[in-house]
Amino acid sequence: MDFVSKFYLITFLVSFILTIIYAFHWHKHFETSLTLVFFLIPIVNLGYVFLSFSQNLQTAVISMKQIFLGGCFLIYFLTLSIFSLCNIPVKRTGRIIGLTVFAFCYAMVLTAGYKPYFYKNLSFSIVDGHGVLYREYGPAHTFFYITVLICFLLGLGTIIYAYFRKKQVSRKILLLLFLPELVTVICYFGKQFIRSDIEFVPLGYVFAQIMYLAIIRRISLYDVSDTATDSLLQAESTGFVSFDRKGNYIGSNTAAQKAFPELLELTVDLPVNRNRLISDLFLSHLEEFRKKQEALPKKSEPKKDLEQIIDAPDEPVKKTEPEADDVFYYQRNEESPIYAINIQNLYDGYSNTGYQFMIQDDTRNQKYQADLESEVAKKTANLVAMHNRLILSMATMVESRDNSTGGHIKRTSEGVRILIEEMRKDPSFRMPDKFCNDLIKAAPMHDLGKIAVDDAILRKPGRFTPEEFEKMKVHAAEGARIVHEILKDTDDDEFRRLAENVAHYHHERMDGSGYPEGLKGDAIPLEARIMAIADVYDALVSKRVYKEAMSFEKANDIMMEGMGPHFDPALKQYYVSARPKLEAYYRSLD
């Protein structure tokens, strides 16, 4: 075996080993394009091996076509990986166009030996014991080189852009992205300037694999949720028991089996009826959990209606949603540990595949809980206040990015409070105190979604173009998602839902012309209808970078005209009665 053949064989074996290493480190959150890169490189490098061992033109051409799987698609997937790792989304249209272009290039490659599109002429000879394919380039090959160069420039530009504009992207990752991008392109075009029987592209691919393995290592470190979960499992301090949706036993870890040795008697994929303890303890709570989930309101159902809020004080408040931490406790006997057991849905990606019980030794907490209750009660008020300040601080941080709405959070929150005060005065409009207090507390969170809006739009010193306004609109739905993530583990589910509604629907209009959902009338949650009045009123009477503050009289005319098409007409009387206080408040700010 000559040196060239050995070189190709070694690069293939190394690339194959690196792909195996990647498979061991693979996580489902890795970008698909990154996985395809590792999958394709050994196939392409194997093509170089086949080419070096070819004995005739036909087998050499087939090997060349295998090699161009990388030439046509690897550079495309590498570019997509760069965009993903730089946190720059690529629209579906862009992905399809890119894939179509390189699929066309590969279709031209497949014509080699039949048509002169990619190669005008092909010839073959054996030199020093290895096959060499001589090629005369056609027009399609020139087009292919242009596409490769464009991908390289796009990748390089993306890395440079991320370096200066994306502070949340690791600088080490950017360096690790730049090196294989540069080396791969040098290997692509270097053959044109260096006289050698060896193609260095396989070596460039191997180098890219090494760099990307270093990148995924850092990705895993930066993914806090994954590293926390892995650390928890390695510590074996938490037990997990899983059941499918039919209640059949799926499995358990060592910590769970230590707490409940009966689990070792169970058979995977079979019911647990054979063991009385497991059946009574786990399946009974599983049934309760199912019932709570079935009681949840459907997402398509309207949220709080005006009449529901009015009638709410006449009935005790009922929880229709399971606790975020649906925990129960078990102790085998007085000397045994006390276990806190939490049940939750079991997900495989985004699919709900069953149920999982998390088991932790809670003995120490339970023994001291009685002594701690009084201390916890004293600190609760401080924690609530801190929570509220945290929410306000986050909202203020988001607002600080917006050139046009300075002080908007504070003013709209005060506007909501003034409206609520007027509504409370009306004996016919009976609202629970909790609803009123929660709405005042949630008001600062209504624009949290602006954190997802690009600075170029958010900080624009003027009016938005239609395209920019469409991008700005995403802040409503994004705000609901962010609020949900912030409050998903809170014990106060009513407040969480209310705060999500305020963020999500405060730009809806009664006539259905609002956004993001185009809800109409009472389908818009009451809390969002109230927030809309305070939000629009502030926008009218406050100075913005694109306008001066409007007079109270003119602002009032616009507000009154909007009662019906824009605002809830049932809230008109409260706005009218609140108007003097609103104007007095805004005058005090001058």
pLDDT in single tens digits along all 590 residues of the chain: 678 888 889 999 999 999 999 888 776 667 788 888 889 999 988 988 898 888 898 998 899 898 888 778 888 888 888 888 888 888 889 889 989 999 999 999 899 888 889 988 888 888 877 888 888 888 998 898 899 888 888 988 988 888 888 877 777 888 888 888 788 777 776 665 566 667 888 888 898 889 888 888 776 555 545 555 555 555 567 888 888 888 888 888 888 888 888 888 888 888 877 778 888 888 888 888 888 887 776 554 444 444 444 444 444 433 334 444 578 888 888 788 888 888 988 876 567 788 889 888 888 777 766 566 667 667 666 666 666 666 767 666 666 665 554 578 888 989 999 999 999 888 887 788 889 989 998 888 888 888 888 877 877 777 788 888 888 889 899 989 988 888 887 778 898 999 999 999 999 999 999 999 999 999 999 999 999 999 999 989 988 777 788 999 999 999 999 999 999 999 999 999 999 999 999 999 87
Of 484, 473, 572, nearest in space to 529 by CA: 572
Residue 5 has which token pair?
């053949």
- For residue 379, the one-letter residue type is K
Return the pLDDT at 234.
56
pLDDT confidence of residue 331: 87
Phi and psi, residue 238, nearest 5°: -125, 130
**Where along the chain do the CATH 1.20.1070 domains lie?**
3-225
Nearest to 254 by CA among 241, 265, 267: 241
Mention every residue, 6+ apart, whose C-beta is less than 8 A from residue 151: 75, 76, 78, 79
CATH of domain 373-588: 1.10.3210.10
Residue 124 bridge partners (DSSP): 133
Q: What is the pTM of this model?
A: 0.42
Pair 236, 254: CB distance under 8 Å: yes
Strand (E) or helix (H) holding 120: strand 119-127
Q: 318: buried, middle or exposed (CB in 10 Å: 19+, 13-18, 0-12)?
A: exposed
Q: Where in the chain is the domain with CATH 1.10.3210.10?
A: 373-588
The angle at the Cα of 493, spanning 491 to 497, to the nearest 5 degrees, equals: 145
Closest of 337, 358, 238 to residue 289, by C-alpha: 358
Residues of the chain with CATH 3.30.450.20: 236-361
* Strands (E) located in 423-552: none
With a CB cutoff of 8 Å and minimum separation 6, the contacts of 480 are: 449, 500, 501, 503, 504
Beta partners for residue 469, in sequence order: none
3-state helix, strand, coil in the chain (%, to 5): 65, 10, 25
The per-residue b/e assignment along 335-344, b for 16 or more CB within 10 angstroms, e otherwise, is eeeebbbbbe
Q: What does the DSSP assignment read for 349-417?
A: TTEEEEEEEEEEE-HHHHHHHHHHHHHHHHHHHHHHHHHHHHHHHHHHHHHTT-TT-TTHHHHHHHHHH
Question: What pLDDT is attached to residue 540?
Answer: 92
Q: Look at domain 236-361 and name its CATH class.
A: alpha beta
* Domain 3-225 CATH (choose: 1.20.1070, 1.10.3470, 2.60.120, 1.10.3280): 1.20.1070
pLDDT at 322: 40
- Residue 120 CA to residue 114 CA, distance in Å, equals 10
Given a contact cutoff of 8 angstroms between Cβ atoms, the answer to whether 38 and 18 are in contact is yes
